[in-house]
Structure 1
Amino acid sequence: MFDWLIVGAGFSGSVLAERLARGSGKRVLLIDKRRHIGGNAYDHYNDDGLLVHAYGPHIFHTSSKEVFDYLSQFTAWRPYQHRVLASVDGQLVPIPINLDTINRLYNLRLTSFELEAFFAERAEKVERVRTSEDAIVSKVGRELYEKFFRSYTRKQWGLDPSELDASVTAPIPVRTSRDDRYFTDTYQSMPLHGYTRMFERMLDHPNIKIMLGVDFREVERDIPHDRVIYTGPVDAYFDFCYGKLPYRSLEFRFETKSVEVFQPAPVVNHPNEHPYTRVTEFKYLTGQEHPKTSLVYEYPRAEGDPCYPIPRPENVELYRKYEALAAATPNVHFVGRLATYRYYNMDQVVAQALTLHAKLTGLPAAPTARAARPNPRAPASIPGIPGICGPT
Structure 2
Amino acid sequence: MKSATILIVGAGFSGSVVASELASAGRRVHIIDKRSHVAGNAYDEYDEYGVLVHRYGPHIFHTNAERIFEYLSRFTEWLPYEHRVRGVVDGVPYPFPINRVTLNQLYGLDLDEVGAAEFFERVREPREPVITSEDVVLNSVGRDLYEKFFLNYTRKQWGLDPSELKAGVAARIPVRTNTDDRYFTDTFQAMPLHGYTKMFEAMLDHPNITVELGVDFANVRDRAGYGHVVYTGPIDAYFDYCYGPLPYRSLRFEHEHLPAIEQYQEVGTVNYPNDHAYTRITEFKHLTGQQHAGTSIVREYPQAEGDPYYPVPRAENEALFKRYEELAKREANVTFVGRLAQYRYYNMDQVVGAALAAAKRLTG
TM category (shorter chain) comes to: over 0.9
Unaligned runs of 5+ residues in structure 2 are: none
User: 1:119, 1:139 within 8 Å by CA — same for their partners in 2?
Assistant: yes
- Tell me which stretches of 4 or more aligned residues in structure 1 moved more than 6 Å: none
Corresponding residue number in structure 1 for 2:39: 38
Q: Deviations over 1:279-311 (max 9, x none)?
A: 000000011100010000000101000111111
In structure 2, what is the Cα distance between the partners aligned to 1:171 and 1:230? 27
C-alpha deviation, 1:167, in angstroms? 1.1
User: 1:2, 1:29 within 8 Å by CA — same for their partners in 2?
Assistant: no
Residues 1:13 and 2:18 aligned together: no
Unaligned runs of 5+ residues in structure 1 are: 363-392
Corresponding residue number in structure 2 for 1:310: 312
C-alpha deviation, 1:108, in angstroms? 1.1
Q: How does 1:168-179 map to 2 (within 5 A)?
A: 168-179=169-180
In structure 1, what is the Cα distance between the partners aligned to 2:240 and 2:5? 25
In structure 2, what is the Cα distance between the partners aligned to 1:304 and 1:220? 23
Residues 1:241 and 2:242 aligned together: yes
Q: How does 1:61-100 map to 2 (within 5 A)?
A: 61-100=62-101
C-alpha deviation, 1:139, in angstroms? 0.7
Corresponding residue number in structure 2 for 1:330: 332
Q: How does 1:260-339 map to 2 (within 5 A)?
A: 260-339=262-341
C-alpha deviation, 1:223, in angstroms? 5.0
C-alpha deviation, 1:161, in angstroms? 0.7
In structure 2, what is the Cα distance between the partners aligned to 1:170 and 1:210? 38
Q: Deviations over 1:156-191 (max 9, x none)?
A: 011111111111102311100000110011100000
Q: How high is the TM-score relative to the length of structure 1?
A: 0.91
In structure 1, what is the Cα distance between the partners aligned to 2:171 and 2:191? 26
In structure 2, what is the Cα distance between the partners aligned to 1:351 and 1:176? 31
Aligned with 2:8: secondary structure? Answer: strand
Q: Give the aligned CA root-mean-square deviation in angstroms.
A: 0.9
Q: Deviations over 1:206-262 (max 9, x none)?
A: 110000001213222235211000000000000000000001110000000021101
Residue 361 of structure 1: which of 348, 355, 363 is its match?
Answer: 363
Corresponding residue number in structure 1 for 2:193: 192
Corresponding residue number in structure 2 for 1:374: none
C-alpha deviation, 1:131, in angstroms? 1.1
In structure 2, what is the Cα distance between the partners aligned to 1:352 and 1:66? 13
Aligned with 2:151: secondary structure? Answer: helix
In structure 1, what is the Cα distance between the partners aligned to 2:128 and 2:333? 46
Aligned with 2:324: secondary structure? Answer: helix
Please say which of residues 98-107 and 353-362 is displaced more in the overlay. Answer: 353-362
In structure 2, what is the Cα distance between the partners aligned to 1:350 and 1:222? 28
Corresponding residue number in structure 2 for 1:108: 109
In structure 2, what is the Cα distance between the partners aligned to 1:106 and 1:90? 15
Aligned with 1:240: secondary structure? Answer: coil
In structure 1, what is the Cα distance between the partners aligned to 2:129 and 2:269? 33
Corresponding residue number in structure 2 for 1:122: 123
In structure 2, what is the Cα distance between the partners aligned to 1:353 and 1:306? 19
In structure 2, what is the Cα distance between the partners aligned to 1:112 and 1:287? 32
In structure 2, what is the Cα distance between the partners aligned to 1:75 and 1:56? 20
Aligned with 2:220: secondary structure? Answer: helix
C-alpha deviation, 1:352, in angstroms? 0.6
In structure 1, what is the Cα distance between the partners aligned to 2:236 and 2:23? 28
C-alpha deviation, 1:28, in angstroms? 0.3
| Structure 2 CA distance for partners of 1:223 and 1:36, relative to 1, 3 Å | farther
C-alpha deviation, 1:107, in angstroms? 1.3
C-alpha deviation, 1:2, in angstroms? 4.4
Aligned with 1:129: secondary structure? Answer: coil
| Structure 2 CA distance for partners of 1:2 and 1:215, relative to 1, 3 Å | farther
Q: Deviations over 1:288-343 (max 9, x none)?
A: 10001000000010100011111111111100000000011111000000000111
User: 1:7, 1:31 within 8 Å by CA — same for their partners in 2?
Assistant: yes
Letter in 2 for 1:62: T
